[in-house]
Amino acid sequence: MKRQKPAKEPQAQGSLPEQTRGASESLSAGTSRRSLLARFGLGATLLALAGQAYAFLRSLVPNVLYEQPQKFKVGTPSQFGEGAKFFEQQRVFVFRERDTFFAISAVCTHLGCTVKMERLNQAKRVKTQGRDFEEQVEFHCPCHGSKYYGDGTNYFGPAPKPLAYFKLEVAPDDGQLMVDMTARVSQDFRLTV
Ligand code: FES
């Protein structure tokens, strides 16, 4: 007698076939791996961009901010002859008149160009703000033509006010003259040595 093959067991209703379930699991694992990788990629890109932005901004700021010292020594009185000595970096004239000294700024009061000292061919009698003196030099600005008398008083061009005078003192440690650009003084200021 021929034995009958047992009928295939019916599949439980509602459950996916084994193969389909496996495929779906590996698909979802693949998707989450891809999304993780995408997030890593995005994070790395953002980090790289942030790094570049920082490097760019940092390059705009110099490593060392160099500011001209506002107080500086210019030498001992004996190193000065009669007349003016110009200190180009600081843009200051230091004058000696016999045993007195004073310092005048070379910064034009119009827009800050450096004025030039012009030696006059002939001494000139000048009256400024009640002062009466004989000048040997004047200051002229090459930028817009302002002119200043020998005492720094503006008399021509767009400069709105006289050149500044700075305090001068003798350094206690070595006897050098020291200009203090933080201290403005009047045109009458004289340091007697
Ligand atoms: S800056 Fe000197 S006249 Fe303008």
pLDDT per residue over 143-187, tens digit each? Answer: 999 999 999 999 999 999 999 999 999 999 999 999 999 999 999
Q: How far is the CA of 33 from the centre of ligand 1 (A)?
A: 70
Note whether 162 and 155 are within 8 A (CB): no
Which residue owns the Cα nearest ligand 1 atom 1? 111
Q: Residue 138 in contact with residue 161, Cβ under 8 Å?
A: no
* Contact by Cβ (8 Å): 93, 86: yes
| Binding site membership of 77 for ligand 1 (Cβ less than 6 Å) | no
CB distance 110 to ligand 1 below 6 Å: yes
CATH, range 71-192: 2.102.10.10
Ligand 1 contact, 157 CB (< 6 A): yes
pLDDT above 60 for 33? yes
Judge if the beta carbon of residue 107 lies within 6 A of ligand 1: no
What 8-state DSSP symbol labels residue 15? P
Q: Is the pLDDT of residue 66 over 70?
A: no
Question: 29: pLDDT confidence band, cut at 50, 70 and 90?
Answer: low
Going by C-alpha positions, the residue among 92, 124, 112, 102 that lies closest to residue 161 is: 112
CA 193 – CA 183 distance, rounded (Å): 19
**Cα separation of 92 and 65, whole Å?**
22
Please work out whether the CB of residue 113 comes within 6 Å of at least one atom of ligand 1: yes
The preferred substitution site among 107, 144, 147, 154 for testing ligand 1, maximizing ligand atoms within 8 Å of CB, is 144
